[in-house]
Amino acid sequence: MTPALVMQVALGGLLMGLIYALVAAGLSLIFGLMDVVNFAHGELLMLAMYATFFIHRGFGLDPIVQLPIIALLLFGMGVVIYHGLIARALSVRFNRGMVQIFSTFGLAIFLRGAAQFAFGGDFRAINHSWLAGRTLRLATLSLPLPQLAAGLVCLLAFAALMAISRTEFGRALEATREDREAVALIGIDRDRIFALGWGLGCATVGCAGAMLAGFYYVSPDVGANFALIAYVTVALGGFGSLLGALVAGLIIGEVEALTALFLEPSLKQVGMFAIYLAVLLFRPRGLFGTL
């Protein structure tokens, strides 16, 4: 095992970790805002990937160009899901925690079935795009351009999320998170903030999906695996923490890549789950969790 190989694998893990981090950021944002874990998060990623695939096939638009379209699409979807499902789940008097877990689980099963119905169970992939098949050579390292671009977009998306948190809207989000009753007194419409929060969280996962579709296959079940990693990432970084999601995503990506290299590829997920459990034993609320 040469140092160059280790470097190569570590870089690959870093780039994948950025995708994990962005998927987790959307989940974390929604959780932090209203204490709701969206168990259909992976299915939203899957839908974003399908949308990217079909727009590419139908109109020949490159995944990178599609980024704003998919983000907008998913934003709208998030708002619809909030008003159609989540607002109702939040308004029940009895058993609220369980209602929101199982209503989003129901949504996940429904969306997976819908994808199966509409697109069939085949694995699909975008084979011809601007970046597909190209690599960037740096000394002994070779970086596939689709992954590299995805990593960069993820970093930019994080920068955008940080920037949003400094705007008036971001402060309203933060205030609603801190005390959802009190914000009503200063004229913030809680329902509107929640809906926009869902839109933003889903747009985030939309960006990840659009970039992921550039180099990863799509199938109705693709979301499940990414979602599980996203839950681990959010729990590791701390629910509601943007920085936590970024750091945890990178850790998860690295642990996964290096376990596969040094131990055994089939055990790559056991390594990252074990790290997660170890951290939870010492920091039950994750690395950056304050909630």
Partner 1 sequence: MPPSEAGTAIARRRRLELSAGLVLLAALALLGLPIHDVYTQNLLIIALLYAGLAQGWNILGGYCGQVSLGHALYFGIGAYVSTLLFVRLGVPPGLGMFAAGGVAGAAALLVGWPAFRLSGHYYAIATLVVGEIGYLLFLNWDLLGGASGITIPFKAESLIDLQFRTSKLPFFYLTLAYAALAWTLAWLLEGSRLGFVWRAVRDDMVAARSLGVEILPSKLAAAAISGGLTGMGGAIYAQYVGYIDPDSVMTIEISILIALPAVIGGVGTLWGPLLGAAVQVPISELTRSYLGGSGSGVDLMIYGGLIMLVALARPEGLFGLIAGKRRIDAGFS
Residue 97 makes contact with partner 1 by CB under 8 A: yes
* DSSP letters spanning the chain: --HHHHHHHHHHHHHHHHHHHHHHHHHHHHHHHHS---TTHHHHHHHHHHHHHHHHHHH---HHHHHHHHHHHHHHHHHHHIIIIIHHHHH-SSSHHHHHHHHHHHHHHHHHHHHHHHH-S--B----SSSTT-EEEETTEEEEHHHHHHHHHHHHHHHHHHHHTTSHHHHHHHHHHH-TTHHHHTT--HHHHHHHHHHHHHHHHHHHHHHHTTTS-B-TTHHHHHHHHHHHHHHHH-TT-HHHHHHHHHHHHHHHHHHHHHT-GGGHHHHHHHHHHHHHHH-TT-SS---
**Residue 278 C-beta: closest distance to partner 1, Å:** 10
**Residue 146 C-beta: closest distance to partner 1, Å:** 28
Residue 224 makes contact with partner 1 by CB under 8 A: yes
Residue count at the site for partner 1 (CB under 8 A)?
A: 54
List the x/- string, 32-71, binding to partner 1 by CB under 8 A: ---x-x----------------------------------
Member of 25, 108, 126, 153 binding partner 1 (CB under 8 A) = 108
**Residue 102 C-beta: closest distance to partner 1, Å:** 5
Residue 105 makes contact with partner 1 by CB under 8 A: yes
Nearer to partner 1 (CB atom), residue 71 or residue 257:
257
Instruction: Choose the stretch contacting partner 1; rule: CB under 8 A; options: 44-52, 106-114, 180-188, 248-256.
Output: 106-114
**Residue 206 C-beta: closest distance to partner 1, Å:** 21
Residue 122 makes contact with partner 1 by CB under 8 A: no
